[in-house]
Structure 1
Amino acid sequence: MSSDISQIQINQAGHLEIGGADALDLVKKYKTPLVVYDVSSIRNQIHHFQKVFEDNHVDYAVSYASKAFACIAMFQLVNQENAHIDVVSGGELYTAIKAGFPMDHVSFHGNNKSVEELEMAVDHQIGVIILDNFHEIALLKQILKDKDAHINVMLRVTPGVSAHTHEYDQTGQTDSKFGFDLQSGQARKALDEVLADQRMTMLGIHAHIGSQIFEVKGFELAATKLIDTLGQWHKEIGYVAKVVNVGGGFGIRYTEKDDPIAPEMFVDAIVKAIKKRARELALPMPAVWIEPGRSIAGPAGYNLYTVGSRKDVPGIRSYVTVDGGMGDNIRPALYQAEYDAVLANDPKAPAKETVRVAGKYCESGDILIQKQALPQTKPGDVLAMLATGAYGYAMASNYNRNPRPAVIFVENGQDNLAIRRETFEDLIRLDQPLE
């Protein structure tokens, strides 16, 4: 039995329970592969973040990083909890519009926003555009002039702080595709350009140092460096920031090897570091924004699969294959992400063997879990992968022309369809016949 499954999540029948619903009942109703979210888990983590700010008596925004998982229902849920969202594409922004999300609570990220995306953001008067480069400043300046419009902006900066995490997730160091470099003076030049345009209102600065981070110190260093930068800008030109956005990247537990602190403890350390440095520099205390994605959606998600074939390689290993794989969770194949899994019909069953959990896709690298201790399995068993709520469905594909799974939200035992399962007809809806 995985240590990540508590007794509360096992019902009287001995089955895995998600959001108060029996996982096997969900499978019977919706089939597999199936993505299930425990809605209360999402609400509770947002509340934990909000409480930290309120206990520290600072103005704030908890902005859900929707690239972790975005759909209309998710945006509506986040809005119910009075949180913001950040989007990174026209598609995510369009989803927010269709969800009826308050546009003044939307932030728009991205290192290569198109003219069409920027126009959509301006037309809908979103809360803030986070500017990433000089090309984008020029594009936005022209759009605002053409439309006789105004917009709030922030500058994304690279503070030169490298996170101790997977190299592809290190985005705060100087050598990064994201943001204006502080060390070379790029950020100050960008500030001057923005302040010179009366159609842009400069709210503050933003930095994001990485993802799946377990150490507080990197966040404290980055936060202090942001305040030092604002202190310098205030001394040089009198600029006073209203907002410091420290991004996200708070690590979560995927397997027993992971030992993260509670996500809200990162935020408490960040806020205290900002308050301390702002006080030392005699700066007005800015609002502090965060952008958690994985830490909100990740632990709340489960992927349910049906076990199919098995292959035993004598003296080497056994493969247990499920009816999903890299099409609904590419993270293990893409960058060796690790997960735990249990049998949904008996999570407490003692392990009898260690197997490799394989997907159904026509790729040797389609392995969901390299080594998983499980009881003896048989075809038809339901396997539940844990903490799959971030960057699973969001990165899903139709590889091998497989339909993407349904997504279910469950709360207080009530299940609701958030995204319907794709059909074969959906797969060909954009195809055109050969003339």
Structure 2
Amino acid sequence: MQATQAAAGDTATLEAATYRKVGWRLIPFLMLCYFVAYLDRVNVGFAQLQMKSDLQFSDAVYGFGAGIFFLGYFLFEVPSNLVLHRVGARIWIARIMITWGLISALTMFIQTPAMFYVARFLLGLAEAGFFPGIILYLTYWYPAARRSQMTAWFMSAVALSGLIGGPVSGWILHTFHGHAGLAGWQWLFLLEGLPAVVLGVVVLLYLDNGIAQARWLTDAEKTLLQERIASEAQTKTHASALQAMASPRVWLLALVYFSVVMGLYGLGFWLPLLFKTTGVSDPLVIGWLVAIPYGVSILAMILVGRRSDAKRERRWHVAIPALLGAAGLLLSTLWTDNTLGAVLTLTLATCGIMTVLPLFWSLPTAFLTGTAAAAGIALINALGNLAGFFGPSIVGWVKQATHSTNGGILVLAAFMVLCALLVLSLPGRDIDR
């Protein structure tokens, strides 16, 4: 009995140490990559503070251009993830980062609405597959019981891009405007696009395709990790890519994700302007104000993700933050001319929306594996991210028609409520792992 307990204790110690080692090796680097990816995706929200007036773009033109990124993203998402599953994460993630960094930097040369639309569409094509590829990649290393917390850490890069990227973007607009004959928004695209190219090269040197290729792990550590993944795989449904894409559960989850992405990008692309409408004009100050909601969100994401893993409960840990996000959006319409009120309500909205994101991805990965996971995750992300087109566009159209963002914000709040209701309709036995 004592020998058995000692052996179990040794295994538990090895397991804890091994996952800690994997976490420190992978998660900070993946966070950095996603930080740069998300910054390049939404820096157009800061660029609009100068770009719209310089190029004479209307709110509708800006909203459509910000959102058309997701049409390109949608078209190439599933093929990209299937290629990643076949050729490996190292080569494909590097390709994605290098091409999107170059396109983001070249956006500095746009002059017309048509050029703006083309640049954003091509950026979506280039970046397609990055996020679902990383979600798939994490399933190669972590079982479900550990994955929500790791996904939360990874996705906190979105909040970090607001926390750090907001002030940095504001500083670039404030400091570099007029240097070398370029506008601040042109410097913004250039200086925030090139780091992705550099990181893409680093991916080729640093990232491993999976456990078997990780030379920094011992044989005992590799065996333990592979056993944990193999054990979980036995509980999942093994299906083809087509079967996964035809699954009603996958389509329901796509609708859930569509709802939360409506809130994410509808708010994210317009957040700088929402603070500007309260009377703040300096881009640097706006950058610091944008940092507040995202900074608080990081703490909320990590704590709720950790609690969800500990309780092995997913539905309510998604639904309650979604409802809080809706409440924050709703309340923000009452404080459009008060900076402090806007900070408080938009912080609540951002915390709710951001907390939902990593927890959501514990739902499809609880029952999908292999090629089915590659296709299912990509399909969910592709369909969900179509909301990235509709969210900013709706706010832009409503603002141009009514001269207020309130109507568009209320639409985003309604979608967050829908997200909560759909998640609660899912059977807990399928996803609470």
TM band (smaller chain):
under 0.3
- Structure-1-length-normalised TM-score: 0.23
Structure with greater strand share of residues: 1
Structure with greater helix share of residues: 2
Query: Which protein, 1 or 2, shows the higher relative CO under an 8 Å CA cutoff with sep ≥ 6?
Result: 2
